[in-house]
Amino acid sequence: METILAFDFGLKRIGVAVGNTMMKQAQPLQVISAATNDGKFAALTSLIQEWKPNRCIVGLPLHPDGAEHEMTVRCRRFANQLHGRFGVETVLVDERYSSAVIAQKRGELIDAQAAAIILQQYFDDTHEHNHTSS
């Protein structure tokens, strides 16, 4: 069984969710809203130490046609920093399909909930790829 942390990266806040490969259910965990980059990484360090994830998922925002934009670049950089600082495998998940679900919240976006939706999408996609028909 692997523990997985998922991140909905934003410039002001980072939503965090947790799940594992046995239950395949994502749960919102917390929102990191430290003002500085150092503060954010201090919070990330304690999360990584507490949960000891086997893998981290980072939502990758793209334009509807798949084109990248400024936040795409920032999220890739964040994923690279997670991998570089903590030595944990990092997987980027296309957020375009989960965004439709998030948008239904009438703009009351809770970052940790967004991270949970991204992680659930990862579990669902992974399950479909690994599923064998009996």
Q: Decide if 116 contacts 17 (C-beta within 8 A).
A: yes
Confidence band, pLDDT 50/70/90 cuts, at residue 64: confident
Q: Decide if 131 contacts 32 (C-beta within 8 A).
A: no
Q: In the chain, pLDDT over 70 holds for what percent of residues?
A: 84
Question: Is residue 18 pLDDT above 90, yes or no?
Answer: yes
CATH number for the domain spanning 78: value is: 3.30.420.140
Query: What pLDDT, on a 0 to 100 scale, did the predictor assign at position 127?
Result: 62
Residue span of the structural domain in which 120 resides = 3-130
Report how far apart, in Å, the C-alpha atoms of 108 and of each of 75, 103, 104 are: 22, 9, 9
| Tally of domains within the chain | 1
Q: What distance in Å separates the CA atoms of residue 121 and residue 64, rounded to the nearest whole number? A: 17
